[in-house]
Structure 1
């Protein structure tokens, strides 16, 4: 019983600590966004991979495997079954999460010539209100950059 409680406490602490980590911190202050202006040169349809690696599938699978493993055997055999069940459950849960949520979705690659003359390429979900030659803003930078029409 102590082994189960220790294992569950360790898993809970790991999840709690990982949930507190800083995600997507940038150089700017809170709520600060870089906005650039330009004109759309080209729009190409493409696909983009979603990123839903939350780890929830692995954690739930691991807990389920741990629970099932605890029903098998006694003593050392039971401990081995619990560890094996937790590992197998974590792998299976992670696979199931990826299969369900990591499907490519339709997107558009937009090439914008900003005021300085530099070309910027951004891939984002399809925005039907964008067209070639349109004046736009580029909000954000890196993976968070988005192209939006001026005046919207």
Structure 2
């Protein structure tokens, strides 16, 4: 995968997992641009961070990681943006299929539902899996979030 930038963001519930993932990415020689939040102390709204991710993720070779309590809300909020294909993943298989079949440009996790070690394994798989194209490109295009729009 050609990765130009990786952005990472979370709400307060995902703050600790976000920090752990940032350190893990460095061990893979990847650096994440942290879009916040910067603490678990104050309650914040996950749509604000999904929207910030969408504003920053502008090119085809840019990717993101989003985290909230369950991953559900933040992935729904992210997918409201036409150029976003955010996949809420729960295991290595879903992380692989998110890239290979759906050309996801953001992976999402639930901090309260995902063990840090599992998140790390999913991240490795997500960022090492290429989009298969072919019949899958036709399907992704039907989502109305064409890769060419980035």
TM-score (norm. length: structure 2) = 0.18
TM-score (norm. length: structure 1) = 0.18
Higher relative contact order, structure no. (Cα contacts within 8 Å, ≥ 6 residues apart):
1
User: Which protein shows a greater Rg?
Assistant: 1
